[in-house]
């Protein structure tokens, strides 16, 4: 009887530690009253143009796991001292309403320690991240607002066509095999339309985007 109890406790611990694989890629934010545009705080928004699928390996969808994946693509947490942009919020239609970004991540130019400071100076690719985990649409997917920026002397404005360019650069860096910190990833991409209308309606800086959202499915292979 004692050993049965120990076994039951051991089984309970094991299941608590095992991350469950999710059941869907993502839910369309608009289906739950949300938006595929974030809120930049100036009456406009930036497109959530990359989705990390809920069907990715569960560890990739955690805060630490996603940061490791970002490092594998050459991105790091931003250089705090040179941070020029304010926090933005997004409503992913999951019942959580408008919530601030989890984190803002920049190209690190090969140095996870100081590279993002360089990015802040010279411009480059960057993105903000939100997690779709409210009880109305709990996919676990991560939604990214990606854009390519001018340097800090241009007050971090987006380059012309910077949303589509930023999305494509990040997707190109991700697809195929990447690795960091002893973790190897295999990533596939597919494009989805219908989540956001093409054009510049409501889009920050009046920069048109093509209405394509790229869905990345990231598998940890070793
Ligand atoms: C949902 O995600 C947010 C942001 O990462 C986190 O603070 C919160 O604890 C998560 N909620 C649940 C129920 O896991
Ligand atoms: C998605 O669309 C962009 C823009 O047309 C294109 O550059 C990219 O190759 C497409 N990706 C996939 C996986 O089809």
User: Using one digit for the tens of pLDDT, what is the confidence trace for 96-146?
Assistant: 999 999 988 888 777 666 666 666 655 678 899 999 999 999 999 999 999
Q: Which of 66, 184, 178 is nearest to 131 (CA)?
A: 66
Is the C-beta atom of 168 inside 6 A of ligand 2? Answer: yes
Is the C-beta atom of 192 inside 6 A of ligand 2? Answer: no
Nearest CA to ligand 2 atom 7: 168
In this prediction the pTM is 0.87
Residue 95 pLDDT exceeds 90: yes
Nearest CA to ligand 2 atom 2: 191
pLDDT recorded at residue 108: 78
What distance in angstroms lies between residue 67's CA and the mean position of ligand 1's atoms? 16
Using DSSP's 3-state secondary structure scheme, residue 9 falls into helix
Ligand showing the shortest atom-to-Cα distance for residue 62: 1
Instruction: Enumerate residues 6+ apart whose C-beta is below 8 A from 40.
Output: 46, 88, 204
The confidence band for 16, taking pLDDT boundaries of 50, 70 and 90, is very low
Distances (CA, A) of 196 to 31, 93, 172: 12, 14, 21
Q: Which of 99, 96, 97, 124 is nearest to 110 (CA)?
A: 124
Which residue among 133, 134, 137, 139 is best mutated to probe the pocket of ligand 1, counting the most ligand atoms within 8 A of its Cβ? 133
Cα distance from N-terminal residue to C-terminal residue, the chain: 39
Nearest CA to ligand 1 atom 1: 133
- Which numbered atom of ligand 2 lies nearest the CA of 164? 4
């Amino acid at each position: 009887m004692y050993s049965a109890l120990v076994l039951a406790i051991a089984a309970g611990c094991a299941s608590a530690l095992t991350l469950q694989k999710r059941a869907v890629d993502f839910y369309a934010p608009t289906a739950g009253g949300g938006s595929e545009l974030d809120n930049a705080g100036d009456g406009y928004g930036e497109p959530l143009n990359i989705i990390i699928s809920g069907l990715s390996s569960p560890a990739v969808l955690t805060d630490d796991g996603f940061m490791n994946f970002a490092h594998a693509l050459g991105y790091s947490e931003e250089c705090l001292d040179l941070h020029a942009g304010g926090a933005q919020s997004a409503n992913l239609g999951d019942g959580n309403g408008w919530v601030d970004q989890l984190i803002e991540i920049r190209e690190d130019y090969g140095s996870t320690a100081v590279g993002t400071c360089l990015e802040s100076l010279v411009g480059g690719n960057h993105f903000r991240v939100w997690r779709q985990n409210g009880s109305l649409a709990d996919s676990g997917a991560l939604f990214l607002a990606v854009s390519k920026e001018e340097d800090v002397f241009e007050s971090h404005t987006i380059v012309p066509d910077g949303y589509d360019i930023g999305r494509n650069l990040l997707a190109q860096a991700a697809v195929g095999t990447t690795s960091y910190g002893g973790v190897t990833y295999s990533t596939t991409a597919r494009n989805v339309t219908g989540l956001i209308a093409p054009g510049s309606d409501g889009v920050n800086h009046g920069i048109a985007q093509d209405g394509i959202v790229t869905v990345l499915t990231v598998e940890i292979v070793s």
